[in-house]
Structure 1
Amino acid sequence: MEYFKFLRQYVGHQPIILPGSVVLILNKQNEILLQKRHDGGWGLPGGLMELGESLEDVARREVLEKTGLVINELHLLGVFSGPDYYIKLQNGDELYSVTAVFYTTNVSGDLVIDYTESETLQYFSLLNLPNELTNEYKSYIEPFLSQLIE
């Protein structure tokens, strides 16, 4: 059972802190890989931490699960937390996310879409990101745009 689901058995809809990781994956054309979710929004591949994992483990596991890609090298860009990362879900669950944002240009494997989690995966120019990129993910990408473009 996923850790957050285990916690929910005890706290119901009350706010909890959920750590996780996302990864900015850049190809040789300096394009970023984004995941289109079933709600229509675009975001970065990533997910929530399970017991015993490091934030790097989360990044590697979630990218493999969602994209089929193996991360060979990983660099921490920053950690995002605080009141701006409070979320209330449609089912009433409340959470504060603590998200480690990593980037890599060094992946191997073939892109494979997990259709249970994604509609599609697509690379985008850093200068032409989709309008449906959620505000949360914009906040993860925008502080690093100038670094990533260089």
Structure 2
Amino acid sequence: MNYCDAMREKIGNDPLIIVRPSVAILNQNGEILLYRYIGGIWNIPGDILQLNESVEECLKRNVLRDIGLTIKKLTLFGVYSGTELINRVEESGDEYQTVAIGYLCTEFEGHITPDQNQGIEAQIFALNELPEDTNPFIKIKLEELKNQLIK
């Protein structure tokens, strides 16, 4: 049982603060890797931090498991929190407030091989040609990233 499931058993649907490291993976052409669960919205890779795990370990585990890439170097991009990161799961009524820790990665190995058992698809996109159904918060942060890269 993961950390969030264990906490949910104790607190029910009450708000739970979670830490979610995420990573913008850019190739040598400055294009970004986005992924989604089939039928979902596009996002950057990330997962919920588990007990006894560093945020870097969390990202490396998630990206290798879900996408098949080995992360070599991570650079902190930003830490985000606030009301725009409060989510309620309609089916269960569970409420989460996320503390998102964003990283940038340009050094990785392997081939993009999304985990088909989890129904994941992954694609490379130009930063100025993101799909319409990209997570709105992520779109804003990727625009900031694009502006930083241009400088």
Q: Which residue of 2 aligns with 1:138?
A: 139
Q: Counterpart of 1:43 in 2: which secondary structure?
A: coil
Q: Deviations over 1:11-49 (max 9, x none)?
A: 111100000111100011111000022343100111100
The aligned amino acid for 2:121 is: T
Question: Distance in 1 between the 2:97 and 2:149 partners?
Answer: 27
Q: What root-mean-square deviation, in Å, do the aligned CA atoms of Structure 1 and Structure 2 show?
A: 1.4
Matches within 5 A, 1:116-131: 116-131=117-132
Q: Is residue 111 of structure 1 aligned with residue 112 of structure 2?
A: yes
Percent identity over paired residues? 34
Could you tell me which runs of 5 or more consecutive residues in structure 1 were left unpaired when the two chains were aligned.
none
For 1:19, the equivalent position in structure 2 comes to 19
- Residue by residue, what CA displacement relative to the aligned partner does 1:67-122 show, whole Å, maximum 9, x if unpaired? 11001111000011111110001221101001110011100012111124444100
Alignment CA distance shift 1:41-1:12 (3 Å): same
Distance 1:118 1:22 in 2: 19
The answer to whether the 8 A contact 2:66-2:120 is kept is no
Contact 2:18 2:99 in 1 (8 A): yes
Give the length in aligned residue pairs.
150
Tell me, yes or no, if the aligned pair for 1:101 and 1:140 is still in contact at 8 Å: no
Mapped to 2, the partners of 1:116 and 1:45 lie a distance apart of 17
TM-score normalised to structure 2 length: 0.93
How does 1:66-77 map onto structure 2 within 5 Å? 66-77=66-77
Shift of 1:55: 1.3
**Does the CA-based 8 Å contact 1:33-1:123 persist in structure 2?**
yes
CA spacing shift, 1:4–1:41, aligned 2, 3 Å? same
Q: After TM superposition, list the pairs within 5 Å mapping 1:1-150 onto structure 2.
A: 1-90=1-90, 91-149=92-150
2 CA distance for matches of 1:37 and 1:123?
Answer: 15
The one-letter amino acid of 1:104's match is C
Runs of 4+ in 1 over 4 A off after TM superposition: none
Q: Is the 8 A contact 1:30 1:149 kept in 2?
A: no
- The separation in 1 between residues aligned to 2:149 and 2:119, in whole angstroms, is 25
